[in-house]
Structure 1
Amino acid sequence: MATASRTIQGRRFTSNVIPTLVFLTDLLCLVVSAPVAVIGYAVAVGSVVVPGVHTAACFIAGIAFFLIRQSRGVYTQSFVVLQSGDTAVGFDYLMSALLSSAIVWQFGLLDHFSRGLTLAYVVSAIGLLIVSRFVLRAKLRRLAESGRIRQRVVLYGADKDTVERTCRMLDLQALPQLLLVGVADDYTRPSVADTVGDLPFIGGFPELLGMARAGEIDQVLIALSDMTRERIDLIIEKLSEVAIDISLIPREAIALAPDYRVNFVGSIPVLTLWQRQMRDGNTIVKDVEDYLVAATALILLSPLLLVTALAIKLTSRGPIIFKQPRFGFNNHEILVWKFRSMYVDRQDVSGAARTTRGDPRVTPVGRLIRKLSIDELPQLWNVLRGEMSIVGPRPHATHMKVGDHYYFDAVKGYAGRHRVKPGITGLAQVRGLRGEIQTIERAKRRVELDRYYIDHWSLTLDLRIMVETVVNLLFDKNAY
């Protein structure tokens, strides 16, 4: 591979230039938005506004915007952000504009402040910022694919398995600016003379240094499974004589991928294997959602609840409510309320005996209320008590089995579904896994969906599951 030319026309940049391009694009959008807003406002309203306080407000909003973006790490991992669409850019500028307006109000300058011009500027800035993401993402991809922006990488000390895992991870991320040139190592040689996995074997340190001096590589990723401090020092000492980036891939980063996130505890980088999605502000949103929906549902459904209670009482002896111990948040045991749907002398509080289609233990009224999930409605009281949520993994009985094994023994990672409050309905239920689970495969799929819900929780996802639950009630063949 030829060395990059020193002329502007033929110059090749590494991926490190991308954050600068993103920053300059954001700055250009904010600068261009000013004349666009002024001209648009003058044409629409027919009056000219004296700059004064507007210039200061625009400057404050811009500074706040860049500080917010920097805190998000946008200007350090910008290509990844651009891949995901960077949908937060508009929200970030809106927050910056609100902060700037609050400062103007605090200094008593509202009389000199045009709300129409401010609105025009905010709209034009947000519009340009969002559009710029699509334009810049397409332009960067073209530059990367043409080789004008490219990070040429060599893996040092990587065995075949590590090479294959690394290549697979990078392929999944679809980063066209990264080019894996080959594998180098001095201690071991590949069984096949010229390849390690799908990458060419380029040799040891002499060959690696030669390529670096010739400007053919930009970065070395050290990937050693068993590494001593002495060997790390030796590698750094030998590679420090050439102008390349040197990075280390921790063994766990490959072995555990993709089940971790890179975070910092102070200044110490850590691989976070599990992180709560519902915490801090999210828990408040979730609690408000649960209380509002549960209270509203109890009021609106009170006639149905009374009729159901009366039907149960008149058609079979025993209590109206059936309380069963089940696993709750953090694996604590809770008493889950249900309308009694079985004959009182045939109930199984432990949950060891599964309910099957045509189960003789179920009363005639019980069959109807189970079919329509009316038997689950008393769990709204569990929600108001803070023991359950409207949406979440369904709580399982403490002795519930799948096949001949207890659920928590049969499915690996089962306990992970207890990281949140259990729900009256859940993602698994609206994906066809409601009712009896007869096979280990279906049990595993249910747990997979429960854990996916936990890791990807959002208010929008909850609302979608609620709507799908109502729609599915009349068409679910797995309820009996």
Structure 2
Amino acid sequence: MPMSDKGLSAPDQASLLRVPRPALLPSLAEALGERPSADEAFPVDKAALRLRIALLMLTMDVLFLSASYGVLALVRRPGRLVFSDTHMVALVSLFLLIAINTKVYGFEAISNFSTSLRRGWGALSLALFIMASAVMLFVPHGISAIAGLALLAPCGMIGLFVVRRFTAWRARALMPDGPTNKLVVCDGVDRAAKPGEFVVCVREAGIQPSMDDPLMLDRIGRLARRADRIVVCCPPERREAWITALRGTGVDVELILPELCALQPLGLQHFDGATTIMVTRGHLSPRDRMVKRALDLGVAIVLLPVLLLATLVIAVLIKLDDGGPVFFVQKRVGQGNRLFNLYKFRTMRVGQLDRDGAQSTRRDDERVTPIGRILRSSSLDELPQFFNVLNGDMSLVGPRPHALGSLAGEALFWEVDQRYWHRHAAKPGLTGLAQVRGFRGSTAASSDLTNRLQADLEYVANWSLRHDVRIILATFSVLVHRNAY
């Protein structure tokens, strides 16, 4: 049965931390029946708004260029237009290709009118130059097309100016406090919030950078939801703890520093007149997230009819087997270290379900039902996670999500290597690089986790769409695996 989503108070979470570790897992099992409160810092997703403005700008650019061509169509020579439909389609396609590659619709262009106009005019000028050169070289008697381009240039420039004035006004209306959400974490430092900032005083909020408390990391992950930038103000002795706790949020994280120190910075930045160093970057850019989400939805929707039919058949088999519930729902750690409900077909006997995941399934495990053994060996028990993909909690490809109580030998996963939390910068996946390399099954020793963690961190650091497609294709060869039991 699914667990309740009722909030867990900060004092109750703190009491969990005072329990000795051997008793921690049973306490977590009880606590996770009540989901931590959703501490949302930003009600507006500005990344989504910026994407909408970029798409609006792109659409209006195309419409204005097309309208300019419509005006030119009224200027005729006897029996023919000065500029053909083919020429116009080629010009618009060339402009869009150049514009996208020169970041005409990127973040800087969306947030700054002059940058947007300069890049837009530059892309159109280059497209017109390339088009005119091609016409002169390859089109016989193309003087009328050249004349059309000459007339189109000022019309297009005026159109781009109007579009950017309108989108700049629209951006200010939708985001009056600025184009980004900035989460400022103040630990031992007082700071008043400025427009676009959400300031969290950790003492008043009752949060700490504890790497041994999944519930606390869940609260931090919820605060970081929709944040474009996290800036940390803290004493020197607390910097490393906050860096470690925030790496898994999947958001750009910076430290305000009065001096530079050896924290493996990615680059220097500036925030409110202070020098900061970049200590981690978000997993994917907004464009890459959109591409990855499109792949997820495209594949999941195409497979949905087959998935529904398979779900119906497997549900009947499970009911005939022992009459128990069809689905097994378990809390797993997802993107940004946020907890979510993962769905699987139930493969264990009702009275022996392991909701904490503390005991890995063994070969010939007596807890597994006869039909469950078939489902697990063929990986069909994972099919309901396509609904997690449709819901946005998971992706087709990413680090596999684990239960909080999962053990590598006698240690919890994050006790073996605290880099474990960093893998959650990416959305968890149905399959991943670790799985196609054969790292699956029980984690009887710490090395079993280390191999998977290294593969997951490699995936997070080197994501590409082509890499995702390769992993999806490679997954078919490991659906039936000697370690799948």
TM-score range with shorter-chain normalisation?
A: 0.3 to 0.5
Q: TM-score, normalised by structure 1?
A: 0.48
TM-score (norm 2): 0.47
Name which one, 1 or 2, has greater alpha-carbon Rg: 1
